[in-house]
């Protein structure tokens, strides 16, 4: 609970960011942590609230014991804070950087005052734990002899593998990419999540006994029959990697790319050669338009600015959000609010304007005689919502516009998992094309195959992927032994 009067005496202080003009020169993380006293004071702001909604279903999906480790921070008990955090979260170094912090939206203090800096406190705990040598290999003392295959090394697959390994099972993780981490490695740019952290965590898991096989595509390099013959259980954690397309005239023009193709190639080239090999989609000198206003769109903006794009714009179909909570998003729900993220700041600093255009939809990609993209045709939309109904929009007559563009990145979300793997495993899918497996049981239509993460629930947060990975690990463990001591 921190200091009983801390929330009345101490102001909220987020970690600072390096100035945009400085940080766009590289792909390094740009958060600047506070000194020890300031960080411990931030822990002191945690109230003695009656019900800590931060760790409820409205807040943290993995139910981090937030008030407890905030109190430990305030009292300078950093080692204990790490051990308390590790009880519920396998990878605080990831969530402390990329989670949108629904815990802070549900913070009781946040009803009337700025919420506790829960996300920053979490990152500080794990970073200090690494610095202090607390994070060391801890392989299980007893092995069960059971073998589990995990398909996919994203946050769901890694958290499940970590739990199952500590339960004593032999775990092999199959990853089709050349590096481990799934979206943690290639879906999130290095300036948001340093890839050394992902690699360090995976190396620790190897030392604890987890086997990783990269460059292996299940269904192609190894068949489902071979997998089921070699392993006692199979856990599918492939993510929702099928991108939403924009099938309008001109879609096949050169210069129109999916956002993940752009971000993945950039990070791979950055890690392979510091972008010297040229094996990436360069935005240098280009007029860039990003379609889609979520985190992925913002990452495309920040990456394009770092490449040296001539200009960057961002088109969002939805209307401009409110700056504060409305009746649509009452506390403690997670609100959709207007925020100036790092990419928006950098574009504003570099080009002199907020890159975002709201309530706009693209109708056509326009090309030149050589098949290269040269412009977009758009129309403005007007949104409305009837009580109890979903929001709808109509196109505004006479609002057509032409926008010059050399490159477009489609960042409009994902439609679900890729189907060939699921077909090769012969498991059922639900009406949304996700793996059909009940939450809490995680068992598919095949009794020895389980599933967790975005491929089961649809596109979601890293913290939800960890939640599902931990829960699925418990169910797999229970199916193997008849009981489970894993927390789930």
The answer to whether residues 382 and 268 belong to one domain is: yes
The answer to whether residues 335 and 192 belong to one domain is: no
Token representation of residue 448:
């020895």
Predicted local distance difference test score (pLDDT) of residue 174 = 98
The CATH number assigned to the domain holding 189 equals 3.50.50.60
Q: Is the pLDDT of residue 386 over 90?
A: no
The answer to whether residues 119 and 22 belong to one domain is: yes
Strand-pairing partners, residue 410, are 258, 291
User: Which residue among 366, 388, 412 closes a domain?
Assistant: 412
The dihedral through the CA atoms of 249, 250, 252, 258 has a sign that is: negative
Give per-residue pLDDT as tens, 298-319: 999 999 999 999 999 999 999 9
3-state secondary structure of 123: helix
Token representation of residue 230:
């070699």
Give per-residue pLDDT as tens, 465-483: 999 999 999 999 999 999 9
Q: How confident is the model at residue 367 (pLDDT cuts 50, 70, 90)?
A: very high
pTM: 0.96
Give per-residue pLDDT as tens, 283-293: 999 999 999 99
The CATH number assigned to the domain holding 107 equals 1.10.1060.10
Q: Is the pLDDT of residue 2 over 80?
A: no
Q: Is residue 138 in a domain?
A: no
User: Which residue among 363, 394, 412 closes a domain?
Assistant: 412
Give per-residue pLDDT as tens, 126-144: 999 999 999 999 999 999 9
Q: Is the pLDDT of residue 488 over 80?
A: no
Q: Is the pLDDT of residue 388 over 90?
A: no
Among candidate residues 181, 174, 143, the one with its CA nearest the CA of residue 268: 181
The answer to whether residues 204 and 288 belong to one domain is: no
The answer to whether residues 161 and 91 belong to one domain is: no
Q: How confident is the model at residue 112 (pLDDT cuts 50, 70, 90)?
A: very high
The answer to whether residues 339 and 204 belong to one domain is: no
Give the residue numbers spanning the domain of 227: 147-241+415-481
Q: How confident is the model at residue 366 (pLDDT cuts 50, 70, 90)?
A: very high
The answer to whether residues 118 and 253 belong to one domain is: no
Q: How many domains does the chain have?
A: 3
User: Which residue among 412, 431, 455 closes a domain?
Assistant: 412
Q: How confident is the model at residue 324 (pLDDT cuts 50, 70, 90)?
A: very high
DSSP letters, 25-89, are: TSSS--EEPPPHHHHHHHHHT----SS-GGGSTTS-TT---HHHHHHHHHTT-HHHHHHHHHTT-
Predicted local distance difference test score (pLDDT) of residue 185 = 98
The answer to whether residues 330 and 371 belong to one domain is: yes
The answer to whether residues 317 and 339 belong to one domain is: yes
The answer to whether residues 123 and 168 belong to one domain is: no
């Amino acid at each position: 609970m921190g200091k009983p009067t801390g929330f009345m005496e101490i102001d909220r202080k987020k970690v600072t960011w390096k100035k945009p003009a400085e940080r766009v020169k590289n792909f390094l993380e740009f958060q600047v942590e506070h000194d020890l006293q300031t960080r411990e004071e931030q822990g002191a702001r945690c109230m003695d609230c009656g019900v800590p909604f931060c760790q409820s279903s409205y807040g943290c999906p993995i139910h981090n014991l937030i008030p407890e480790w905030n109190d430990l921070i305030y009292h300078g008990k950093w080692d204990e804070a790490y051990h308390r955090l590790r009880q519920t979260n396998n990878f605080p170094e990831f969530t402390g950087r990329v989670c949108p912090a629904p815990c802070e939206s549900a913070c009781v203090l946040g009803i009337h005052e700025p919420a506790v800096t829960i996300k920053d406190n979490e990152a500080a705990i794990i970073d200090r734990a690494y610095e202090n040598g607390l994070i060391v290999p801890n392989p299980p003392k007893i092995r069960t002899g059971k073998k589990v295959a995990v398909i996919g090394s994203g946050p769901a697959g890694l958290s499940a593998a970590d739990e199952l390994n500590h339960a004593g099972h032999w775990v092999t993780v199959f990853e089709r990419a050349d590096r481990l981490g799934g979206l943690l490695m290639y879906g999130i740019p290095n300036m948001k999540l340093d890839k050394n952290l992902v690699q360090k965590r995976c190396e620790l898991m190897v030392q604890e006994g987890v086997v990783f096989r990269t460059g292996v595509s299940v269904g192609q390099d190894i068949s489902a029959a071979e997998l089921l013959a070699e392993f006692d259980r199979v856990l599918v954690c492939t993510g929702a990697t099928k991108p939403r397309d924009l099938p309008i005239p001109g879609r096949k023009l050169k210069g129109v790319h999916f956002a993940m193709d752009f971000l993945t190639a950039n990070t791979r080239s950055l890690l392979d050669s510091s972008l010297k090999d040229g094996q990436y989609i360069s935005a240098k000198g280009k007029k860039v338009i990003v379609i889609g206003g979520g985190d992925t769109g913002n990452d495309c903006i920040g990456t394009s600015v770092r490449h040296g794009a001539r200009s960057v714009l961002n088109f969002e179909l939805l209307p401009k959000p409110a700056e504060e909570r409305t009746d649509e998003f009452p506390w403690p729900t997670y609100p959709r609010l207007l925020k100036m993220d790092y990419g928006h700041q950098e574009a504003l600093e570099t080009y002199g304007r907020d890159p975002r255009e709201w309530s706009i939809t693209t109708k056509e990609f326009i090309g030149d005689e050589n098949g290269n993209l040269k412009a977009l045709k758009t129309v403005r939309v007007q949104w409305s919502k009837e009580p109890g109904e979903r929001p709808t929009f109509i196109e505004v007559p006479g609002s057509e516009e032409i926008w010059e563009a050399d490159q477009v990145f489609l960042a409009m979300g994902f439609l679900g998992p890729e189907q060939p793997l699921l077909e090769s495993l012969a498991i059922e899918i639900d009406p949304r094309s996700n793996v059909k497996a009940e939450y809490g049981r995680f068992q598919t239509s095949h009794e020895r195959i389980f599933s967790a993460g975005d491929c089961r629930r649809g596109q979601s947060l890293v913290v939800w992927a960890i939640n599902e990975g931990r829960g699925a690990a418990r169910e797999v463990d229970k199916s193997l032994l008849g009981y489970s001591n894993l927390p789930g």
